[in-house]
Amino acid sequence: MTTRDVSSLLPSLLGPIEIHADGEQVALRDTWNFVGFGLTDDGEALNFAALAVVGGQELPLVLGEETTTSTVATRKGSRNIDLSFWPATAGALVRRLRLIVTLDSSVEDATATIDLYDQTHGVVVTGTELDNAAADDKTIPTEIESDALTVGSASGDLRSDEVAMYLLRIRRVGATASDAVTCTNARLVIDYVAA
């Protein structure tokens, strides 16, 4: 197994990168979840054959059971998010952010509704209003994923121009005051995909 420093070949990524090559298989060891580099070695030059980014970095918002009977959006998780740690591009790939949540309800008549609220700017992040209304059985935990979220500096964007405080909020729609809705997991997933 050989070790090569190729950090100069990846200027868009932050921090040192160490690649261990075993034939054409290469694994990265750092805080990024980049995997699947294929390299060929032509003496002095390294040629990138392919780059695949799988999984992604997850930023937890809720880990554990958070329940409410309220019909008013109630904070169940919060964190500052600084997107400057993840560049907008990595070579030909672009950064993608999605909100993924797991929701369930105590009864079929109750719908769990969740959103990501930008407390710094006083606005719900566009595209983060998710619910379990379409679940086959709302009493069984269901994972729900947003479309790709817009990153920028406009109202409703996940902010790239400054660090912002975000709140994960949940509320009950329908049923009665004694019925509950629950979020057991919520996270922002950051990965890189073909443009």
Using one digit for the tens of pLDDT, what is the confidence trace for 54-71?
Answer: 457 889 999 889 999 999
Residue ranges of domains in the chain: 2-53, 57-194
The per-residue pLDDT for 1 is 41
Q: In the predicted model, what is the mean pLDDT of residues 3-15?
A: 43
Return the structure tokens found at 45: 């030059």
Contact 110, 139 (CB under 8 A): no
Residue 13 has pLDDT above 60, yes or no: no
Q: What DSSP line would sit under the chain, residue for residue?
A: -EEE--GGG-TTS-S---EEEETTEEEE-SSS-EEEEEEEEETTEEEEEEEEE-S-EEEEEEEEEEEE--SS-EEEEEEEE-GGGS-SEETTEEEEEEEEEEEEESSTT-EEEEEEEETTTTEEPTT--EE-TT-S-TTS-EEEE--PPPEESSTTSEESSS-EEEEEEEEEESS-TT--EEEEEEEEEEEEEE-
- The reported pLDDT for the residue numbered 194 is 87
CATH of 57-194, one of 2.40.160, 1.10.3470, 2.60.120, 3.90.1150: 2.60.120
Q: Under a CB-based contact definition with an 8 Å cutoff, are residues 133 and 127 in contact?
A: no
Structure tokens given for 59:
């930023």
Nearest to 87 by CA among 15, 164, 18: 15
The residue that leads in pLDDT, 47 or 122, is: 122
Please give the share of the chain, as a percent, with pLDDT higher than 70. Answer: 72
**Is residue 7 very low, low, confident or very high in pLDDT (cuts 50, 70, 90)?**
very low
The structure's pTM equals 0.74
Instruction: Write down the pLDDT at residue 55.
Output: 52
Q: Is the pLDDT of residue 15 over 80?
A: no
User: Going by C-beta distance under 8 Å and a sequence separation of 6 or more, which residues neighbour residue 25?
Assistant: 38
What is the greatest pairwise CA distance in the chain? 71
Q: How far apart are CA 83 and CA 153, in angstroms?
A: 12
